[in-house]
Amino acid sequence: MLVLRGADVVDANGIREADVAIEDGEIVSVGDVSDADEELDVSGKFVAPGLIDSHIHSSMDGRPDVTSVFGDSDMMLSYRAVSNLRDALRAGVTTVRDLGSPTTLALDAADAIEAGLIEGPRIVACGQNVVMTGGHGHWHGREADGEAEVKKAVREQLKRGAGVVKCMATGGVLTDGAITGSPELDEAELTTLVETAAAKHVPTAAHAHGTEGIKNAVRAGISSIEHGTFMDREAAEMMADRGTYWVPTAKASAGIVEHGTEAGIPEYAVEKAEDAIESVADAFEYAMDAEVPIAMGTDAGTPFNFHADIPEEIELMVEYGMSPEAALEAATVNAADLLGLSDVGLVEEGYRADLVVLDSDPREDERTWQSPAKIMSNGSIVR
């Protein structure tokens, strides 16, 4: 049994002085622990849950033009995913939700991590995105039109073992010719997607920038809205009423706008990102006013949005008006709830020992997540 001694334990339930005892990958005690086979002195530091990123792309590596990734072989995509997932874990991200990778790549990566074959965070994966023909992300999605095709596309992902079904309710920034806020899959198709996934008790996620697409997805019963850039007050209230999560992915547009065409990002993507980023502050205002549940996600893998930098999303969320404490909740307990996981997100007995040791209180210093002193995944010290 390993015991972390001398730290303040901090999570969504508050802060307390306690030892944390870990055995067989699980937290077995939080309190006064007398006996230990091994001890780690973390005096003066803070033990917190590992971060949960609700929106990544394992095979995308932050390159300026993401579409060039998909000219690579399946083997190269797999090697790249191994590197990205290792980077995420070593940044203190112990659980991720992959919302779109080619074929079974992310699903297989989840199995490989669980088996101890590669190093990375626990993965909940969607398999392939369900997209309309020629829609956003069609280059690695499962194209489907009409309710019958959507139903089949969803069933294909469920057959592969998807833990979430992801779809495109609107256009997006990184697909040439797609109009960012314009609806793609319609409400009837989205409803079919939700009902088909629900038959297997699998949640859903919708990429949705534009207001009409957001509302279509919410009415259809989608579990989470990804991006939600042009959300208006009515859409936010709809989401709050139905308990629909919002995953803002602020880093995605920020990385594109900051680096621009000079860094090799396609002009069409920069133009759309510059237009979108102007609405992000309003979306945060509407969501927080309506008390929409928020889960942290980065869209890691998009241009200059690296898996190693995932914790920077928390700082951006605070810059957009969330408190550091609310951002902590978004990146731990809220994200765990969205992913349907009951054993991560808190430092409590019976939870997985997915932990980070921080130099300062993350409820007061949102930047402390970016430089963890220690990282533990499933009871093993990563670094």
Same domain, 69 and 126: yes
Among 160, 128, 132, smallest CA distance to 145 is for 132
Does residue 259 register a pLDDT over 90?
A: yes
Please report the pLDDT score of residue 142 as a whole number.
96
Model confidence at 187: pLDDT above 80: yes
Lowest-confidence segment of 61-75, 97-111, 145-159 by average pLDDT: 61-75
240 and 355 belong to one structural domain: no
| Token pair listed for 229 | 């850039």
Domain extent, residue 161, equals: 51-339
Which of these, 331, 329, 369, 351, lies nearest to 21 by C-alpha position?
351
260 exposure class (CB count in 10 Å sphere: 0-12, 13-18, 19+): middle
320 — pLDDT class (breaks 50, 70, 90): very high
64 and 19 fall within a common domain: no
Residue 129 gets which letter from DSSP?
A: P
- Please report which confidence band the pLDDT of residue 382 belongs to, taking 50, 70 and 90 as the band edges: very high
Q: Locate the DSSP E strands across 255-379.
A: 355-358, 374-377
Closest CA to 375 of 92, 21, 122, 19: 92
- Bridge partners, residue 257, by sequence: none
Number of domains composing the chain = 2
- The total of other beta-carbon atoms located within 10 Å of residue 103's CB is 14
Q: Are residues 246 and 225 in the same domain?
A: yes
355 and 224 share one domain: no
- Mean per-residue pLDDT for 225-245? 98
Judgement on whether residues 69 and 56 belong to the same structural domain of the protein = yes
Q: Are 110 and 178 within one domain?
A: yes
Q: Tokens 């549940």 map to which residue?
A: 293
Q: Is the pLDDT of residue 140 over 90?
A: no
pLDDT for residue 368: 98
The pLDDT confidence band at residue 68, using thresholds 50, 70 and 90, is confident
Judgement on whether residues 19 and 105 belong to the same structural domain of the protein: no
Among residues 328, 335, 273, 314, the alpha carbon closest in space to that of 9 is found at 328
- pLDDT recorded at residue 303: 97
Q: Could you give the angle at which helices 280-290 and 233-242 cross, rounded to 10 degrees? A: 40
CATH of the domain at 369: 2.30.40.10
Res 383: pLDDT = 87
Beta strands across the sheet bearing 46-49? 14-17, 8-11, 46-49, 355-358, 374-377, 380-381
Q: What is the CATH number of the domain that holds 194?
A: 3.20.20.140
- Tell me: do 176 and 277 sit in the same domain: yes
Among 322, 339, 356, give the residue marking a domain's end: 339
| Whether residue 70 has pLDDT greater than 80 | no
**Are 27 and 113 within one domain?**
no
The string of DSSP codes covering 7-60 is PEEEETTEEEE-EEEEETTEEEEEE-----SEEEE-TTSEEEEPEEEEEE-TT-
CA–CA separation, 207 and 137 (whole Å): 10
Q: What's phi and psi for 348, nearest 5 deg?
A: -140, 155
The pLDDT of residue 172: 95
Q: Which has the minimum average pLDDT: 36-40, 264-268, 269-273?
A: 36-40
Are 58 and 31 in the same domain? Answer: no
Give me the mean pLDDT over the 17-27 stretch: 96
- 168 and 310 in a single domain? The answer is yes
